[in-house]
Structure 1
């Protein structure tokens, strides 16, 4: 059998376990159509590489119990860092995307990539002192040219454009492949996996507005990573288009200039200078402040107008809202739903679910782990993946 065919079988079998957890030999044969001997060979290889482990015997069909296998949750580790404008979450995750250990660190993305990534490296070294690294995933709040692994023309990340993030990290983790992904795309990947949804839009509402698209089970990035940037489409709602407000992207009249977290801080701080961050806006809504509540509800309507266009064009089954503004709950969601259902064709919304995320801030790190595993254990790359290396071995 050709090596490429062997790698394809290995990747397909491992993907089944990453998706379903535990499976017997018989279940693998049924799901892949591979022969018993081929399945036995592939399972043996994956066990030898430390990616699968045999567990207790499965139900018998008349003979001896069938051995059950599962992803090795105590071995290989995926390192992820979900970088935001003012903070990051670094985590060590298992091969199914579940965070094992994590750290939250305050950062300022405007300090530049070297300063922020140095904090990421330090966090990773603390997180994997006893782990084995097979891949690294980095999420950033800007457009990412996925194939090149570079941030491209980010509106808020001064100094990050074209920076070699992978090269910087591989100075400390030379054997670990590095995947760079837009933070909203990572969240979309996690939400799609969590809900079992093949057609989904994920909106991250924080300082800015990020959107990730998963359709037919695949992340939609576009030619250069700019797909689905709903925050920089033109805002359309009552009273917002008479004199377009400037957006931090350099354009004017963008949805983000009215409904982004930074825009809400701008507007609300005029009357209350103590409002300096998006968290202050959310806190105001949760304690019943009328001005904050009205502003967030209107932001939901403005965002809903833009999302309605995506619904008409793409026909998702689910829209998931996350980020700090998502914590405002129905104050935000009522306005968003109002405009989506008002502006879309009834057929497009007949089975549509619009909800807030129940993954919380885990969505980013989980999505990065899943996306990194998709790449590291793909048909094209699985044969090139080295046996998992412990951090202390990499430093020797």
Structure 2
């Protein structure tokens, strides 16, 4: 392995991935000398990023130990912004929730009000988690719209008025400093689409061996997250997976929130079903209300959810044929048995048998915490990627 591929940051990647978890395995994987390995591990231990764990019973002499990424040395603040409510949590680096808060909050109120309100929750969350501000290594935000991930900006979001190209990371940093840690260094802030983060969380947690993975979230809108070879696929500027705005030729009278007619989201989203139930005299104002009706077994909600699943299934035939995923997860307000049944009906009816022979169609296992866990994983993978980890270690060694 070339020298620049065996820095402390690269050793950490080998340890975190499980490819090499002892000093001997690191020597074998990198070709570095024992003294060089020890020197670089000292940097990682000094930063608090590693810990030794028992690897087995001792047979005499020095006990056998394995190296492990210490997921408790820092925390991430994760925020899941929805259209009508928001959720924030403090999580360890392995995605375990230490404290959580949920409150009604309209995304349509705009970024200034929403982000400042959410940042105002952070002090109480950290206190509840028993964590000092100095242990926060990053903040991850999940938003219900397309995101240009490289710059952290929401781009032309149909259901987020006022958010287009808004500088979310710098605004969150400013709000965090004002509410939590005025004298501390800027905290890294990363932003991504909610379906992307939910897909990332579900794939990493439950289907790590699945190299082509799709999650579809159906709530106020409809979006898909795609994970290929262990990483989110976002497209060139964050537009991948926006299946809610695929046009249905037989429903051109349905007006979508994006201003166009005939979009899938205008027909099969939680918002669309809420409107249909309300028109039938069943009090319903949102996808969350639809979820409650489904939980109660309300007949009209069940019927409409199954029909919505069939419409989404029509679109997913193309998605599945193109990507050939091993797992398709359904998430969001409608992700229950009626919707799942509708999707399966159309998918297995219309797609070629070869395409679905090894496809597992299931509902989300992380539920409402999926976006929080995914946002945390996004921050951790960014901060502890080899090159960035080396830069952070250098800053620590220089007293930064």
Say if 2:232 is the partner of 1:234: no
- Equivalent residue of 2:386, what SS? coil
CA shift, 1:77, in A, is: 1.1
* 1:72 alignment partner in structure 2: 70
Within 2, Cα distance between the matches of 1:160 and 1:217? 29
- Equivalent residue of 1:268, what SS? helix
- Equivalent residue of 2:263, what SS? coil
* 1:325 alignment partner in structure 2: 334
- Equivalent residue of 2:169, what SS? helix
Say if 2:239 is the partner of 1:219: no
- Equivalent residue of 1:213, what SS? strand
Within 2, Cα distance between the matches of 1:15 and 1:99? 24
- Equivalent residue of 1:385, what SS? helix
CA shift, 1:66, in A, is: 2.3
- Equivalent residue of 2:121, what SS? helix
Out of 191, 199, 210, the residue aligned to residue 212 of structure 2 is: 199
* 1:382 alignment partner in structure 2: 389
Instruction: Check the 8 A contact 1:18/1:96 in 2, yes or no.
Output: no
Encode CA deviations 1:130-185: one digit per residue, 9 max, x unaligned. 33011111111000001111000000111111111111122234431111111110
- Equivalent residue of 2:66, what SS? strand
Out of 88, 100, 105, the residue aligned to residue 90 of structure 1 is: 88
* 1:275 alignment partner in structure 2: 284
Within 2, Cα distance between the matches of 1:366 and 1:103? 14
Within 1, Cα distance between the matches of 2:330 and 2:350? 19
Within 2, Cα distance between the matches of 1:273 and 1:133? 45
Encode CA deviations 1:14-51: one digit per residue, 9 max, x unaligned. 33444559943345455666554443333221111111
Within 1, Cα distance between the matches of 2:156 and 2:350? 32
* 2:12 alignment partner in structure 1: 14
Instruction: Check the 8 A contact 2:7/2:390 in 1, yes or no.
Output: no
- Equivalent residue of 1:168, what SS? helix
Within 2, Cα distance between the matches of 1:85 and 1:26? 51
Instruction: Check the 8 A contact 2:274/2:286 in 1, yes or no.
Output: yes
CA shift, 1:57, in A, is: 5.2
1:130-145 alignment to 2 at 5 Å?
A: 130-131=131-132, 132-145=135-148
| Structure 1: runs of 5+ lacking an equivalent | none
Within 2, Cα distance between the matches of 1:179 and 1:345? 39
1:165-180 alignment to 2 at 5 Å?
A: 165-171=168-174, 172-173=176-177, 174-180=185-191
Within 1, Cα distance between the matches of 2:350 and 2:243? 16
Structure 1 84/293 Cα, relative in aligned 2: closer, same or farther at 3 Å?
same
* 2:353 alignment partner in structure 1: 346
Encode CA deviations 1:273-306: one digit per residue, 9 max, x unaligned. 5111222222222323221111000000000011
Instruction: Check the 8 A contact 1:221/1:227 in 2, yes or no.
Output: yes
Within 2, Cα distance between the matches of 1:301 and 1:139? 27
Instruction: Check the 8 A contact 1:84/1:141 in 2, yes or no.
Output: yes
Within 2, Cα distance between the matches of 1:224 and 1:342? 33
CA shift, 1:349, in A, is: 0.9
| TM-score (normalised: structure 2) | 0.88
Within 1, Cα distance between the matches of 2:81 and 2:394? 28
Within 2, Cα distance between the matches of 1:121 and 1:386? 28
Within 1, Cα distance between the matches of 2:322 and 2:143? 26
Within 2, Cα distance between the matches of 1:38 and 1:349? 50
Within 2, Cα distance between the matches of 1:257 and 1:72? 46
1:123-162 alignment to 2 at 5 Å?
A: 123-129=121-127, 130-131=131-132, 132-162=135-165
Name the Cα RMSD after superposition. Answer: 2.6
